[in-house]
Amino acid sequence: MTLDELGTGVPRWAEAEVGPVLVDAGRLAVRVNELGAQITADYADDPPLLVAVLKGAMLFMSDLCRAIALPVDVDFMAVSSYGSATKTSGVVRIVKDLDAELDGRHVLVVEDIIDSGLTLNYLRRYLHAREPKSVEVCALLVKEGEQRVELDLRYVGFTIPPEFVVGYGLDVAERYRNLSGVHVYRGPGPWQ
């Protein structure tokens, strides 16, 4: 058995660092399908280019694009404002840029989590400069009360408490992305 005996949904290998599940795999699947249906309806006449922000949004993007019943294109960007820390540095770097042209296209940015909103704010301005038809955001998670800028998020999966979380693509120092649910991160494990 890979889960602990208390039923918290935490695999034994992560027990020392990861708390109980905040959003389990079942709730994630239901909400991703709901978001996919909503996006399908909203973009029925002009499918968007889905832009995943790597690496955290990779699992969400994979599930979301399969839940959209349209011929969507996908592309990926990598931005960094955390490094291996659990707090944003406030400095945004584009590590990998898009391959696709945005001119005249609807763009839907697929984000794993929004906390301060500073990275997303920067990313939106950057994408708007390429003259797309529109730029909207689909965020899996939004941390309650953490935003430092006003955000207009068209699609939101879940609003969560202001905790550092891991799982379902989210990490700390590249660990825990493969947890099937979203968990509160307790702190450094024996590997640090």
Mind listing the pLDDT tens digit for each residue in 44-103? Answer: 999 999 999 989 999 999 999 999 999 999 999 998 765 554 555 567 788 888 989 999
Confidence of residue 11 (pLDDT cuts 50, 70, 90): confident
Whether 63 is catalytic: no
CATH numbers and ranges of domains, the chain: 25-82+89-162 (3.40.50.2020)
Q: What value, to the nearest 5°, has the Cα angle with vertex 178 and ends 11 and 167?
A: 80
Catalytic residue, chosen from 99, 115, 152, 171, is 115
Please state, in angstroms and rounded to a whole number, the distance separating the CA atoms of residues 115 and 120. 9
